[in-house]
Amino acid sequence: MSSSSKVPAGRLARLGGFASLAGKLAGGMLAEGAKRLAKGESGSRMELLLTPSNLKRVTSQLAHMRGAAMKLGQLLSMDAGDLLPTELADMLARLRDNANPMPPKQLAAVLKAELGEDWQRHFADFTFKPMAAASIGQVHRAEHDNGTQLAVKVQYPGVRQSISSDVDNAATLLRISGLLPQGVDYQALLNEAKVQLSREADYLQEAAFMMRFQQALSDSPDFLLPTPWMDLCRPGVLVMHYVEGVPVESLQSQPQALRDKVVTQLFSLLFRELFEFQLVQTDPNFANYRYNEETEQLVLLDFGACREYIQAFSDAYRQLFAASLQHDQSGMDQALTTIGFFSEQIASEQRLRVLELVKLACEPLQQDAPFDFGQSDLALRLREAGTALSFQHNYWHTPPADAIFLHRKIGGLYLLAARLKACVNVRALLQPYLHSGSGTTMASATRAAQ
């Protein structure tokens, strides 16, 4: 874990952080330009900007600032057009769980503000060194007086208050640095980023989503979720039962059958979230999934990014998937129009390219047999197709936010399936949900896939 550093909580302090980063990037560009000039070489503005040293500067500064500043790049890169260069998008994604933790003095001040002057009386033991430090908060082990093992998520100070200004400042930095193409209208996405980040920063809302998922999954023995300790939960502190589990990526060395089972359960859960619960946990971060080796259950963590969907939205995706299986391009076009992909006038060539991209994303559904994610280069082809759609065919229309966040989740599952080299019959998992009003349970859908 990175060394601790005080979180800049005030508006001016955070603005200064962005100004400092802009200055460092400009200095890095000048230095790189001079170095190339001395060698008789030239380079584009993008090449001068995206040097390893400049990327390191961005990483270091954002890890120090935390909050919405760390999350914006990922949100901007969720669109199929891949607005950010690959190097920067990948770097920002890696930042999510590599923030600098707060120093103990600042941590104690946050706990005092949230739980009261005598906050320590609530715990028989509290470990000041965090288990993890991410973009919005950090997690600590603790023990209740009755011996219950707890996990305590503590939000960085000033995160909620700085979301709007952080997003605006980060967007300005990206624009003036030339990392975002000229003429791209991304304001709607920025506004949605502010709304979504505000939701994620409300730990009481996250506790409520956690309990809703517990209830929804009460019929499934495959999953293990923490229970929030509501008496101690606050907007900036989330106290919950501690749940044992190893990182889901560590299952790479486990037998094929276990890896297939875990990824099958996650795809089953996705379809149940979309078509039964109409409540989707949209954050695909691998750290949100762990595996309890003793109980052989998947552990689900972090419910801050849950998103509710209306029936019409779920039905439109039901229609889209069904049309894809039938190779019905007209039906796919109609479903995408209902979802909101074609809400603006676009050229027929652009429309066809969007359809081709969606067909590519549905590739795992096209065979009624296990799809070998480990042997597939689907993620790379999706990125290349998305980039071509934007840069070669000049299609910068941003899909509706509901679709973006759902695609974020699906893309994350594809990446995890590839990491675990899983083989999953995704089509069999989806099939029971393709009829409107289906009452199929996740258990029966999973059995159908096996």
What does the pLDDT read at residue 87?
Answer: 58
**Packing angle of the helix pair 68-76, 159-177 (nearest 10 deg):** 50
Q: Is residue 185 over pLDDT 70?
A: no
For the chain, helix, strand, coil in percent to 5 are 55, 10, 30
Q: Which is higher by pLDDT, 390 or 335?
A: 335
Q: Is the same domain home to 69 and 139?
A: no
Q: What is the pLDDT of residues 412-428, one digit of tens each?
A: 899 899 999 999 999 99
The reply to whether 222 falls in a domain is yes
What does the pLDDT read at residue 92?
Answer: 55
What does the pLDDT read at residue 46?
Answer: 47
283 an active-site residue? yes
7, 103, 328, 381, 402 from 324: Cα distances, Å: 48, 52, 6, 18, 20
The reply to whether 4 falls in a domain is no
Q: Which is higher by pLDDT, 172 or 84?
A: 172
Asked if 142 and 151 touch (Cβ cutoff 8 Å), the reply is yes
Band (pLDDT 50/70/90 cuts) for residue 94 is low
Q: Is the same domain home to 130 and 216?
A: yes
Q: Is residue 27 over pLDDT 80?
A: no
Distance from C-alpha of 103 to C-alpha of 407, rounded to nearest angstrom: 36
Q: Is the same domain home to 343 and 433?
A: yes
What proportion of the chain, given as a percentage, has pLDDT over 70? 67
Q: Is the same domain home to 74 and 214?
A: no
Q: Is residue 75 over pLDDT 60?
A: no
Q: Is the same domain home to 85 and 52?
A: yes
Distance from C-alpha of 3 to C-alpha of 1, rounded to nearest angstrom: 7
* 19 SS3 class: helix
Nearest to 196 by CA among 16, 102, 74, 344: 74
Q: Global pTM?
A: 0.80
What does the pLDDT read at residue 333?
Answer: 94
Distance of CA 142 to the CA centre of its chain: 27
Distance from C-alpha of 4 to C-alpha of 105, rounded to nearest angstrom: 11
As a dihedral over the C-alpha atoms of residue 134, residue 138, residue 139, residue 140, rounded to 10 degrees, the angle is 140
Q: Is the same domain home to 376 and 397?
A: yes
The one-character DSSP state at 139 is E
**Domain hosting residue 80, numbered range:** 11-98+162-183
- Segment 60-86 shows an average pLDDT of 49
CATH number for the domain including 120?
3.30.200
Q: Which is higher by pLDDT, 174 or 198?
A: 198
* 256 SS3 class: helix
Q: Which is higher by pLDDT, 392 or 108?
A: 108
The reply to whether 292 falls in a domain is no
Cβ neighbours, 10 Å, residue 294: 7
The reply to whether 278 falls in a domain is no
Q: Is the same domain home to 125 and 108?
A: yes
- Segment 314-339 shows an average pLDDT of 95
Q: Is the same domain home to 434 and 347?
A: yes
Band (pLDDT 50/70/90 cuts) for residue 364 is very high
Q: Is the same domain home to 206 and 337?
A: no
The two tokens of residue 207 are 């506790």
The two tokens of residue 8 are 């800049």
What does the pLDDT read at residue 338?
Answer: 93
Q: Which is higher by pLDDT, 135 or 431?
A: 431
Q: Is residue 169 over pLDDT 50?
A: yes
Q: What is the pLDDT of residues 276-316, one digit of tens each?
A: 999 999 988 888 999 999 999 999 999 999 999 999 999 99
What does the pLDDT read at residue 444?
Answer: 46
The reply to whether 259 falls in a domain is no
Q: Is residue 349 over pLDDT 70?
A: yes
- Segment 134-155 shows an average pLDDT of 92
Q: Which of 283, 302, 333, 402 is catalytic?
A: 283
Q: What are phi and psi of 145, to 5 degrees?
A: -60, -30
What does the pLDDT read at residue 96?
Answer: 52
The reply to whether 359 falls in a domain is yes
Q: Is the same domain home to 81 and 220?
A: no
- Segment 201-226 shows an average pLDDT of 96
Counting the structural domains of the chain, the total is: 3
Q: Is the same domain home to 72 and 132?
A: no
Q: Which is higher by pLDDT, 79 or 350?
A: 350
Q: Which is higher by pLDDT, 250 or 171?
A: 250
Strand 371-372 relative to strand 279-281, pairing: unpaired
Q: Is residue 40 over pLDDT 60?
A: no
The reply to whether 258 falls in a domain is no
Distance from C-alpha of 19 to C-alpha of 25, rounded to nearest angstrom: 10
The reply to whether 142 falls in a domain is yes
Q: Is the same domain home to 167 and 212?
A: no
Band (pLDDT 50/70/90 cuts) for residue 37 is very low
- Segment 261-286 shows an average pLDDT of 95
Distance from C-alpha of 322 to C-alpha of 426, rounded to nearest angstrom: 13
Mean pLDDT of the chain: 79
Distance from C-alpha of 278 to C-alpha of 32, rounded to nearest angstrom: 50
Question: 114-146: b or e for each residue (b if 16 or more CB lie within 10 Å)?
Answer: bbeeebeebbeebeeebebbbbbbbbbbbebee
